[in-house]
Amino acid sequence: MVPLMKFKDFIWSKNPETLDISITRDIKELPIPFHGSVMQDYGEQKRIIKGEGEFSGKRCMETYQKLAALFESGESGVLLLPNCKTCFSFLCGCYKTRYSALSVCILGRQQKFCCST
Q: How far apart are the C-alpha atoms of 30 and 37, rounded to whole Å?
A: 5
List b or e across 31-60, with b for residues whose CB sees 16 or more CB atoms inside 10 angstroms: eeeeeeeeeeeeeeebbbbbbbbbbbeeeb
Q: How far apart are the C-alpha atoms of 112 and 117, rounded to whole Å?
A: 16
Question: pTM here?
Answer: 0.68
CA 40-46-49 angle, 5° bins: 140
Q: How confident is the model at residue 105 (pLDDT cuts 50, 70, 90)?
A: very low
Q: Say if residues 17 and 54 touch (Cβ distance below 8 Å).
A: yes
Average pLDDT over all residues of the chain: 78
Q: How far apart are the C-alpha atoms of 71 and 112, rounded to whole Å?
A: 10
Q: Mind listing the pLDDT tens digit for each residue in 8-57?
A: 888 888 888 888 888 889 999 999 999 899 999 998 888 888 888 777 77
